[in-house]
Chain A
């Protein structure tokens, strides 16, 4: 094994780690990133890409028809033949946005509870650490299924962090419902050090490449988790697209990660955080927005033509938000949403319904 280097793919904003002994194409495949390729012999040029940043690349034998010398000089490379010897940024010329993320292997893992912290009266910040070494690879915005101990049932929860690479940790924001299968367990019986079985990642609520286009996030309740993950990922990657996050809560006691979100406004100059309360307590001081979150969006956004929208929260909120956003000019196919349902019978905390698109 040689040294490992970080290879970052633009414009999709995916990062992988590549050992010097591996080709970039091979490492990507192992990490679930589906890159276009054909012969894997350096001849068909399907994997030809453009090196935006970095130079130290060694190539295995290839056809100079697939990569003539002048193209090599200009910065092109063949991913099926390329070994990185430093960190690289590579612009993919040949990729499909939806498919590229489809290849993350679904893993069954065991994780240990590191922390259960109340972030509001009914939202819990759950932190797990994988017991076996190695990360669980996922894209920000994706979720895992956690098996409810002593039952056949599993419940889906989105990660709030962006990677488990260094820490081996997965963070969640979970709403506690009275009688909820997992959430009651979480609230009453689960302790630090306990082990949980999980499998994943799933879901396509991931940030889509659309350089320059505005982003509107609309969230409520535990919908905080995947949106937080997307925002943290934007901050890490320096994606400074104009973005506004409308987060709806009942009272100011229902707001969480408030400080972090306000701080993100400094890191991402184009970002604005707009919390809104539907039932502000009369005695509490609140000079922010008031009303249903969809009404707040309507008041603030006369025209959203050309914008991308990401929506995650309880079903009534999602169902109200989609026609509203369409009415404000967001193209239907650019509305990405995760809708989680609370299954009536089980009174269950959060069953994330895989998005229909």
Chain B
């Protein structure tokens, strides 16, 4: 059997005129990288001739599955514990997709290789498609799920609550700083090559185990586009590596991108998979097990390490430290506990954990119960309003954490918190790597070298600052997380939709005002601040006060 060569057809695409002939385009995003040596070939031979029929076919399948889910009443059979977390996830995920689409044009100008522009253009189209089918999925949930509140407002929610802002920081990472740092290293090399497997392979499997077969359909459709993106990243990385002057910047960017992705993706996806599932079969892989297989064994050892001999400085220490965070320091558990502590500031419902969950956690993460068990029992006890306040105000041996100014996840592994005065403001960071990212990496010079294209991290990065001193009822109203009756909250720390069991703005009005840890930090005297930091790092695990306090 002989067939027509795809490679030859792809060759013809190179003959199109990609480079502008009659004008010099304006560059908004520059790069400090240089590309002088041999150009790389586009490693993936994708031609539009086969692209559009393929995507059309994939879209048809997604529509078919949507139709089947409606007719099969899937939305009423799905585990609510799982679907509630999708209110958060699906509010965030279309935005990284759009950011990724926006990132591709940054590469057209900065990577001088017409051969690669075809792949980048197709990736841009991919990302728009992903965003569209994900938003459509959200619309179907909203129309058919028993509790649409939270699905109906998620574009707004995305950027206004204590979790979504973390997602926005991640999404903007694709277009933050130097064009190569953002669109190539952060997006394609680290986010798409390392972390998409947990996102797009593990999440769908978990969704299916919880009775949702529509999300897997949509996300398999997305994941099957990932090959182009992995290839785009690889080709650009190899081109950058060929120029020795880039090695210093590559080392910097790989450190930043690796750490930031670990902080955000492991926090979010780890929580969804471990705390959003009802599937407690012992043979189900834990997030830690998946991480070890996909990210450590496959990405780190079989993708990154072979590049070392080409001059890529690999952040071995950070990869080991990420694993240390996940396995020894309970990173995912700390995050899930924080999300549940702050339930009143969100737009979904968080199901309490049961004995069956406890048993699974103890089996997969020995020692889990001693650290987190008592707190989750308290969460369960305090879940229905009964004269008490939400758990964050009650005495359950949990100290509300400070935010990390860089990754915007709080400083949950207390011993790792560091503090620095940067740009005239005292900031806390969840780990010294996040301090380094803000104070060293995103600066106009790096190790004595001019890096004008990095820009710097700005904005109200600590969500609590926005509402410092506000009454909680006003905070929740302002965010719009109130149900149609004008008083019942969208968020609930349980899954019971009986109005008598649900929290309202009236409950919140009796609570103390919201205090921003960062505002308080900057109001402290130097001595007070030193004492605060010394105490903070002695706290934990599970948010406990220092043993001697």
Contact = CB atoms under 8 A, between A and B. Distances in A.
A63 B224 contact: yes
B3 A65 contact: no
Interface in B187-213: 193, 196-197, 200-201
A93 B298 contact: no
A46 interface: yes
Given A54-B1, A68-B54, A333 B306 contact: no
B221 interface: yes
Given A65-B220, A96-B41, A38 B226 contact: yes
A75 B3 contact: yes
Interface in B28-58: 38, 40-41, 43-46, 54, 57-58
By DSSP majority rule, is chain B's interface helix, strand, loop, or mixed? helix
B231 interface: yes
Interface string A38-68: 1111011111101111110000000111101
Contacts of B221: 65
A93 B220 contact: no
A99 interface: yes
Contact of B223 (A40, A65, A93): A65
A34 B1 CA distance: 26
Contacts of A45: 224-227
B235 interface: yes
A271 to B, nearest CB: 23
B78 interface: no
A357 B302 CA distance: 23
Nearest to B11: A211
Given A46-B230, A52-B3, A96 B224 contact: no
Interface residues on chain A, size class: 35 or more
A74 B38 CA distance: 35
Given A50-B6, A333-B38, A39 B223 contact: yes
Nearest to B40: A96
A40 B224 CA distance: 12
A65 B226 CA distance: 11
A44 B230 contact: yes
Contacts of B442: none
Interface residues of B, number: 40
B223 A53 contact: no
B498 interface: no
Contacts of A66: 220, 223-224
A34 B223 contact: no
A36 interface: yes
Given A63-B220, A63-B224, A98-B238, A36 B44 contact: yes
Given A11-B7, A38-B193, A48 B227 contact: yes
A74 B7 CA distance: 15
Given A36-B43, A38-B193, A96-B234, A55 B298 contact: no
B61 A50 contact: no
Interface-central residue, A41, A65, A68, A70, by most chain B CB under 10 Å: A65
B44 A94 contact: yes
A330 to B, nearest CB: 14
A17 interface: no
B302 A29 contact: yes
A51 B2 CA distance: 9
A97 interface: yes
A102 B234 contact: no
Contacts of A40: 298
B537 to A, nearest CB: 39
Interface of B: 1-3, 5-7, 38, 40-41, 43-46, 54, 57-58, 61, 193, 196-197, 200-201, 217, 220-221, 223-227, 230-231, 234-235, 238, 294, 298, 302, 306, 309
Given A52-B5, A65-B61, 18 more contacts: A11-B7, A36-B44, A39-B223, A39-B226, A41-B201, A43-B220, A43-B224, A44-B200, A45-B226, A51-B3, A65-B221, A66-B223, A91-B6, A93-B44, A93-B46, A96-B40, A99-B238, A333-B38
